[in-house]
């Protein structure tokens, strides 16, 4: 475990751990190992709160929250929604303006890219986007094909466009941002699994894992410095610019490792989180 600025006392005073899921908590089979489950339960017993922060929709995170007995709110869709597993506590939801959703649908048709509308618990797509469920990396999500998006315009938390022509996605991105549109945050990512595929993700401005972290710790009345975040991918970078303790796995992208306080020696397929979890348990026991 490489240490940059983190002292043992910082880990001893830890109160909250926020874990990315795919590529961090989960192995390549999409599972949490028994070893990691046991360590998380031990952390909870010694007073450390655990939650998840993911690009996934809320419903696909619930079974993992149940497995790990997480009662505090989960961060889904990269910060567009903060809601507990039971659904009776919603700290934040950033619904995109219907006019923006309609504009995105028209642009997707114009530039011949596939589009999906992400709601809290499912993702909607049409016939023109028939391969979206197979390509979109939103593991565990429920996909629903609709003839028209008319009934799904409202309550959209994220718009996702997929294509093999990055320039088309960049054109759409420009038209969804100022000065053509207002109040949107748009990012383009390369697919983890398909080298020639890129994703465009559009959310309401201010929707990020970092801003969700701030909202969550305010709700829990926990200081930023007493929070630890762990991740591996581009969408985790905002969290790695906060004052939380930042932990990257061996398989994390270079841009994330650059901002990390701790770089673990193992990957997510090798129970990489075990190293930091055991260190925290030792210091707090």
What value does the mean pLDDT of the chain take? 94
Per-residue pLDDT tens for 174-215? 999 887 788 899 999 888 888 899 999 999 999 999 999 999
Band of residue 139 on the pLDDT scale cut at 50, 70, 90: confident
Domain membership of residue 252 as a residue range: 2-93+208-284
Domain boundary among 142, 174, 204: 204
For residues 111 and 187, membership in a common domain is answered with yes
Domain boundary among 179, 204, 229: 204
pLDDT at 4: 54
For residues 124 and 33, membership in a common domain is answered with no
- Name the pairing type of β-strands 227-231 and 16-19: parallel
Query: What CATH number has the domain bearing residue 35?
Result: 3.40.50.1000
pLDDT at 189: 86
For residues 77 and 129, membership in a common domain is answered with no
Per-residue pLDDT tens for 211-243? 999 999 999 999 999 999 999 999 999 999 999
For residues 88 and 214, membership in a common domain is answered with yes
For residues 68 and 147, membership in a common domain is answered with no
For residues 145 and 72, membership in a common domain is answered with no
Q: Is the peptide bond preceding residue 179 cis, with omega within 30 degrees of 0?
A: yes
Domain boundary among 204, 228, 253: 204
Total domains present in the chain: 2
Query: What CATH number has the domain bearing residue 187?
Result: 3.30.1240.10
pTM of the model: 0.91
**Average pLDDT value for residue range 94-116:** 96
For residues 27 and 51, membership in a common domain is answered with yes
Band of residue 108 on the pLDDT scale cut at 50, 70, 90: very high
Band of residue 113 on the pLDDT scale cut at 50, 70, 90: very high
Question: Residue 2: is its pLDDT beyond 60?
Answer: no
């Amino acid at each position: 475990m490489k240490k940059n600025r983190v002292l043992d006392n910082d880990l001893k005073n830890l109160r909250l751990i926020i874990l990315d899921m795919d590529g961090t908590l989960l192995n390549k089979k999409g599972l949490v190992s028994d070893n990691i489950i046991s360590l998380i339960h031990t952390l909870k017993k010694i007073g450390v709160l655990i939650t998840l922060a993911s690009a996934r929709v809320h419903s696909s995170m619930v079974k993992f929250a149940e497995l790990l007995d997480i009662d505090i709110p989960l961060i889904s869709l990269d910060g567009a929604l903060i809601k507990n597993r039971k659904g009776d506590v919603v700290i934040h939801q950033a619904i995109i303006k219907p006019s923006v959703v309609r504009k995105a649908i028209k642009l997707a048709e114009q530039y011949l890219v596939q589009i999906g509308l992400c709601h809290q618990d499912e993702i909607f797509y049409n016939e023109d986007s028939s391969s979206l469920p197979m390509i979109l990396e939103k593991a565990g999500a429920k996909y629903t094909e609709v003839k028209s998006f008319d009934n799904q315009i409202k309550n959209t938390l994220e718009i996702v466009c997929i294509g093999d022509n990055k320039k088309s996605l960049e054109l759409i991105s420009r038209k969804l941002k100022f000065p053509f549109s207002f109040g949107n945050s748009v990012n383009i990512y390369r697919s983890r699994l398909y080298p020639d595929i890129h994703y465009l993700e559009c959310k309401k401005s201010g929707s990020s894992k970092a801003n969700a972290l701030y909202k969550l710790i305010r709700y829990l009345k926990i200081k930023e410095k007493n929070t630890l975040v762990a991740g591996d991918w581009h969408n985790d970078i905002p969290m790695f610019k906060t004052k939380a303790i930042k932990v990257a796995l061996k398989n994390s992208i270079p841009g994330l490792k650059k901002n990390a306080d701790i770089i673990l020696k193992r990957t997510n397929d090798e129970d990489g989180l075990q190293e930091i979890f055991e260190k925290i348990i030792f210091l707090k026991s």
